[in-house]
Amino acid sequence: MATTTETAAAAPSLKRRFMELLAKPWSGVAMLLVFYLILIAVFSILSPFFFNTRNMLQIGLNVAYIGLMAAAGTPLIIAGGLDLSVAAIAGLTGVMISLLVGLGVPVWVAVGLALALAAAIGVANGLFTTRLKLNPLITTLGMMSIVSGIALVLTGGLTRPLMIPGFNWIGNERVFSIPIPLIIMVVTFFALWLVMTKTKFGRFIYAAGGNAEASRLIGIPVERTVIVLYVISALAGAVAGTILGAMLGAAGPNAAGSQLLTVIAAIILGGTSLNGGRGSVWGTLLAVLILGTLNNGLTLLNVSSFWQDVTRGVVLMLAVSLDQLRNRALGE
Amino acid sequence: MSSTARLSMRGIDKSFGGVPVLSNVELTLEAGEVVALLGSNGAGKSTLVKILTGLYSRDAGIVEVDGQAVVFGKPADAIAAGVKLLPQEISVMPDLSVGENILLGDLPMKPGFGFKQVDYKTIHIRATELLAQLGFEALDTHQDVKRLSVAEQRIVEIARAIAGQARILIMDEPTAALTEQEAELLFAIIRRLKQQRVSVVYISHYMSEVFEISDRIVVLRDGRNAGDFVTRDTNKAAVLAAMIGATAGDLYPTEPPPPPGTDVLKVEGFGVRGKIADVSFAVRSGEILGIFGLVGSGVEVLGRALYGAVHSERSGQVTLDGRPYRPSTPQHGKEAGIGFVAAERKKEGIIADLTVRENIALPFQNRFTRGLFVSTEAETGHAQNWIRDLGIRTRGPEQKLRTLSGGNQQKVCLARWLVEGVKLLILEEPTRGVDIGARREIYGKLRELTAKGYAVIILSSDVEEVAGISDRSLVLDRGRVVEEFSRGVTPAALMAATAETQTA
């Protein structure tokens, strides 16, 4: 009888220790950092072209427009929202700029108009999900279909040229040898970090996502907070579309569509809870870099890009599993 | 084995992260015995129950069922040994029939068309038999469970446990969602279970229930046994003393109320469509106004309607400090100087993933904002003040609120409103699920706040609380005020006031 009690006590200790580790607030970011460093080490060993300043900056440039969308999506998911239309907005933005310039509108005015349209789409997303209490997944999925459909109608499905004097520098120039898109992305992450952790609005984001009803009952403008975040996400989509168009010198109606999954994967992998209330932009940034590094490294190793879709899916599902485990750990 | 007790737990130890939660705890249960398990939140009740039901493993100690030593590695092991927990929240499948719900764990099957299929005929026969054991053969086993009252759903749940051969039932706050009459029904069932030699561990915050239904009372305090009483040979004072320890005292503050000041809130002919009609009262500064009502009386709507958290159409005149006041959002109520604490702490009160500091500072962020940014130092200073003042037991302002006990979470919810400019506190069920020590502290603090000029409205379905704390009390029934009492009213008089209109 004594032996049975002893085994009962000893068995769960390893699992429990792992769960306790998961419940720590920094565990997510720490694990990502370790994973990132391992990834860099492995690719450095496997490919002589991987570890150098040029390639590292190239990874940064490749992920800049994705990171921008993921950065803005992070506070939105923390507050309990979700934006699946963001990548479609990026596509429509490039198309809008190209068409408006074709009509004789000055390019930066065209960019401004495209941003305004994005903001309106964000407001619509926000109003539908808060005032009408529609499910954000369905609402923004519908919006994604509408927006990318409009972009296809406007272009007839064709990619339009976007080589405009005084415009393409925003995608191609460098400042102190750092690509401008990368700078824009890093500044966005930093600004969002400031807003989320240092301001009243930031407190509202975490409160609304942590417990919307409790927040409403202490007089926090939950709906307004969420609507503003949808607008920020849509604007990030528009800026991403602008940068991508400038980089490529072309605007495809579905230029960024394939990256929607990467954006969502990065946010979840970064430790932001799909249930809302928890997460940080630094986790998202690390996750964006990890996904970009994976892509880059696999390309250097001559792995087919089709396999890269598989890797991204696996990483996403691992991230969601980890999120679920962490929820359970916090519940105990 | 010399012991023939139905259940014997001895020398149970359990610690989390090096902090002992249970040390050398003992609990025995004879066949057909009802034992009430009492203790403040954090005393170790729920940990002990989780060990008994296989959710946690014990660090040390022995558990025997009918003299057989057992180890429950998972909840299914405990159920197989006849130990069944009825959690506070009723868990039934609303879209299945009564019969299906009762026999869900072991559906009778019959052969047919080459494969086994569910034998519905047997389901309803056996379910009716089981209900008859509880005295409810009249319940139609064909109807969907979602059509039943909460009390009837409880009965279905108990019948399901009996169907699973449960010999030890653990009931956690079983009357939480029941009316007085429904609770009586539950007690009748428990008495029948006793006759069938089923043993019950009964967990409740309501002392009167415990004395009505239990044979023995086991008290835990700080993870140790603090008392074991034969119910008919003891009294509430003795049990209370064991629960709160050496410093036992009266639960409610004894100091006289301050002389009442001017009217803070005046309500005339107030109504909420479909819920409340023609309610009139005033509350003065320095006063605690208790509003008592059972579930469904309107007590769960009145407070939030006055705060601005109800969308339904309202009627009547409300004045705050002599000025007309018509709130339509919680922001209005807050800006007008009203603080509100909701009944359902987990769902509507705490923000579990935020820290104690963030939770306390949340409603009035502007006061901690310097320029563009919130000053964490200002928030911390403010939070620390109230942690000290209210005796919030926490490792510090940076602890996540989810890890605090219910009583301490409730103090945090209260602390949110203790800032300059708030003059009226509307508190729904202010001590629901709060342990006795913290209750006493909260009541004492409310008295202290009124001395500083606050007006307090308490809306509660806990009759003892309203009787004990109120300077004046109203009884709400079917959306109307049916009686008004002054300080010193007895719980029986309050209860009688609702009963009168219900039989009329």
Nearest residue of B to residue A206 by CA position? B354
Q: Give residue A45's pLDDT.
A: 92
A9 touches chain B (CB under 8 A): yes
Distance CA B8, CA A157 (A): 75
A21 touches chain B (CB under 8 A): no
- With an 8 Å Cβ cutoff, are A5 and B61 in contact? yes
Q: Give residue A257's pLDDT.
A: 84
Contacts of B361 in chain A (CB under 8 A): 203
Residue B114's CB is within 10 A of a number of other CB atoms, namely 6
Write the pLDDT tens digit of every residue in B276-303: 999 999 999 999 999 998 777 888 899 9
Distance CA B149, CA B423 (A): 40
Distance CA A60, CA A38 (A): 18
A17 touches chain B (CB under 8 A): no
| Mean pLDDT estimate for chain B | 88
Residue A159's CB is within 10 A of a number of other CB atoms, namely 16
Higher pLDDT, B256 or A185: A185
- With an 8 Å Cβ cutoff, are B353 and A206 in contact? yes
Distance from CA of B56 to the nearest CA of A (A): 10
DSSP letters along B136-161, please?
-TTS-TTSBGGGS-HHHHHHHHHHHH
- B interface residues, A as partner, C-beta within 8 Å: 17, 57-62, 69, 71, 73, 304, 309, 329-331, 333-335, 340, 342, 347-354, 358, 361-363, 365-366, 369, 372-374, 402, 416
Q: A7-21, B405-419, B445-459: which has the minimum mean pLDDT?
A: A7-21
Nearest residue of A to residue B304 by CA position? A217
What average pLDDT does the segment B38-54 reach? 84
ipTM: 0.84
CB B186 within 8 A of CB B178: yes
B contact test, residue of A196, A211, A218 with most B CBs within 10 A: A218
Nearest residue of A to residue B307 by CA position? A217
Q: Give residue A10's pLDDT.
A: 47
Q: Where residue B15 falls among pLDDT bands split at 50, 70, 90?
A: confident
Q: Residue A199: which of B349, B354, B373 has the nearest Cβ?
A: B373
Distance from CA of A274 to the nearest CA of B (A): 14
What average pLDDT does the segment B33-38 reach? 94
- With an 8 Å Cβ cutoff, are B334 and A200 in contact? no
- With an 8 Å Cβ cutoff, are B353 and A210 in contact? yes
Does B477 score more than 90 pLDDT?
no
A12 touches chain B (CB under 8 A): yes
Q: Would you state the structure tokens that stand for residue B258, as one six-digit string?
A: 């301050």
Quick one: how far is CA A235 from the chain centroid? 13
Distance from CA of B203 to the nearest CA of A (A): 21
CA torsion angle B416 B419 B424 B429 (round to 10): 20
Write the pLDDT tens digit of every residue in B382-421: 999 999 999 888 888 999 898 888 889 999 999 999 998 9
Q: Residue B354: which of A4, A20, A210 has the nearest Cβ?
A: A210
What average pLDDT does the segment A141-164 reach? 93
- Burial zone of B413 (CB within 10 Å; 0-12 exposed, 13-18 middle, 19+ buried): buried
B contact test, residue of A13, A211, A326 with most B CBs within 10 A: A211
Distance CA A272, CA A283 (A): 8
Q: Where residue B462 falls among pLDDT bands split at 50, 70, 90?
A: confident
Distance CA B391, CA B382 (A): 14
Higher pLDDT, B315 or A5: B315
Contacts of B71 in chain A (CB under 8 A): 4-5, 7-8
Q: Give residue A293's pLDDT.
A: 92
- With an 8 Å Cβ cutoff, are A211 and B416 in contact? no
Nearest residue of B to residue A277 by CA position? B353
Can you give the length of chain B in residues? 504
Distances (CA, A) of B121 to A316, B125, B132, B142: 48, 6, 17, 10
What average pLDDT does the segment B57-70 reach? 90
Residue in the block written with tokens 């469970």: B145
Q: Would you state the structure tokens that stand for residue B221, as one six-digit string?
A: 């305090």
Contacts of A213 in chain B (CB under 8 A): 347-348
A contact test, residue of B21, B57, B328, B422 with most A CBs within 10 A: B57
Burial code (b: 16+ CB inside 10 Å, e: under 16) for B416-427 equals bbbeeebbbbbb
Top-ranked range on mean pLDDT: pick from A9-13, A126-130, B110-114, B396-400: A126-130
Contacts of A198 in chain B (CB under 8 A): 372-374
Residues contacting B43, CB < 8 A, separation 6+: B220, B221, B222, B223, B226, B243, B435
Distance CA B407, CA B42 (A): 9
What average pLDDT does the segment B22-28 reach? 93
A14 touches chain B (CB under 8 A): no
What average pLDDT does the segment B344-370 reach? 92
- With an 8 Å Cβ cutoff, are A5 and B71 in contact? yes
Q: Would you state the structure tokens that stand for residue B222, as one six-digit string?
A: 């700080």
- With an 8 Å Cβ cutoff, are A218 and B362 in contact? yes
Q: Give residue B10's pLDDT.
A: 93
Q: Give residue A113's pLDDT.
A: 96
Distance CA A59, CA A297 (A): 9
Distance from CA of A141 to the nearest CA of B (A): 29
Distance CA B34, CA B199 (A): 6
Write the pLDDT tens digit of every residue in A201-213: 999 999 999 999 9
Distance CA A31, CA A321 (A): 14
A54 touches chain B (CB under 8 A): no
Distance CA A279, CA A229 (A): 15
Q: Is A272 left (phi over 0), alpha (psi -120 to 50) or beta?
A: beta
CB A298 within 8 A of CB A307: yes
Does A132 score more than 60 pLDDT?
yes
CATH 3.40.50.300 residue spans of chain B: 7-247, 261-337+422-504
Can you give the length of chain A in residues? 332
Q: What is the 3-state secondary structure (H, E, C) of B5-71?
A: CCEEEEEEEEEECCEEEEEEEEEEECCCCEEEEECCCCCCHHHHHHHHCCCCCCCEEEEEECCEECC
Helical segments of B271-329, H only: 299-307
Q: Where residue B133 falls among pLDDT bands split at 50, 70, 90?
A: confident
Contacts of B367 in chain A (CB under 8 A): none
Contacts of B354 in chain A (CB under 8 A): 206-207, 210
What average pLDDT does the segment B159-187 reach? 85
CB B498 within 8 A of CB B293: yes
Contacts of A4 in chain B (CB under 8 A): 69, 71
Q: Would you state the structure tokens that stand for residue B280, as one six-digit string?
A: 């009139």
β-pairing, B83-86 vs B168-172, is parallel
Q: For A259, which DSSP code?
A: G
CB B154 within 8 A of CB B270: no
Q: Give residue B501's pLDDT.
A: 53
C-alpha count within 13 angstroms, C-beta hemisphere, residue A24: 11
- With an 8 Å Cβ cutoff, are B69 and A206 in contact? no
Does A7 score more than 50 pLDDT?
no
Higher pLDDT, A73 or B181: A73
- With an 8 Å Cβ cutoff, are B363 and A4 in contact? no
DSSP letters along B372-407, please?
TEE-HHHHHHHHHHHHHHHT---S-TTSBGGGS-HH
A220 touches chain B (CB under 8 A): yes
- With an 8 Å Cβ cutoff, are A198 and B416 in contact? no
What average pLDDT does the segment B271-277 reach? 90
Contacts of A330 in chain B (CB under 8 A): 353, 402
3-state SS, residue B291: strand
Q: Give residue A9's pLDDT.
A: 46
Residue B380's CB is within 10 A of a number of other CB atoms, namely 20
Distance from CA of A327 to the nearest CA of B (A): 11
Distance CA A134, CA A83 (A): 13
A7 touches chain B (CB under 8 A): yes
Q: Where residue A6 falls among pLDDT bands split at 50, 70, 90?
A: very low
Q: Residue B330: which of A1, A218, A278 has the nearest Cβ?
A: A218
Distances (CA, A) of A168 to A107, A246, A298: 10, 4, 29
Domain spanning B261-337+422-504: CATH superfamily? P-loop containing nucleotide triphosphate hydrolases (3.40.50.300)
A contact test, residue of B304, B354, B429 with most A CBs within 10 A: B354
Residue in the block written with tokens 């960019």: A111
Nearest residue to B165 via CA among B49, B81, B66, B64: B81
Q: Residue A219: which of B69, B334, B342 has the nearest Cβ?
A: B334
Distance from CA of B24 to the nearest CA of A (A): 14
Distance from CA of A207 to the nearest CA of B (A): 6
Distances (CA, A) of B247 to A124, B437, B442: 60, 10, 16
Nearest residue to B42 via CA among B292, B330, B314, B243: B243
Q: For B435, which DSSP code?
A: -
Contacts of A11 in chain B (CB under 8 A): 57, 73
Q: A13-27, A159-173, B83-97: which has the minimum mean pLDDT?
A: A13-27
Q: Is A24 left (phi over 0), alpha (psi -120 to 50) or beta?
A: beta
Residue A240's CB is within 10 A of a number of other CB atoms, namely 34
Q: Would you state the structure tokens that stand for residue B193, as one six-digit string?
A: 């279970």
Q: A17-26, A31-40, A168-177, B294-303: which has the minimum mean pLDDT?
A: A17-26
Q: For B97, which DSSP code?
A: B
- With an 8 Å Cβ cutoff, are A1 and B348 in contact? no
Domain B7-247 annotated CATH 3.40.50.150: no
Residue B16's CB is within 10 A of a number of other CB atoms, namely 13
pLDDT > 70 in chain B, percent = 96
Domain locations in chain A?
48-256
Distance CA A267, CA A273 (A): 9
Residue in the block written with tokens 């000025």: B323
Question: If you compute the radius of gyration of chain A from its CA atoms, what whole number of angstroms results?
Answer: 21
Helical segments of B453-490, H only: 463-469
Q: Residue B352: which of A204, A210, A215 has the nearest Cβ?
A: A210
- With an 8 Å Cβ cutoff, are A218 and B309 in contact? no
Does B307 score more than 90 pLDDT?
yes
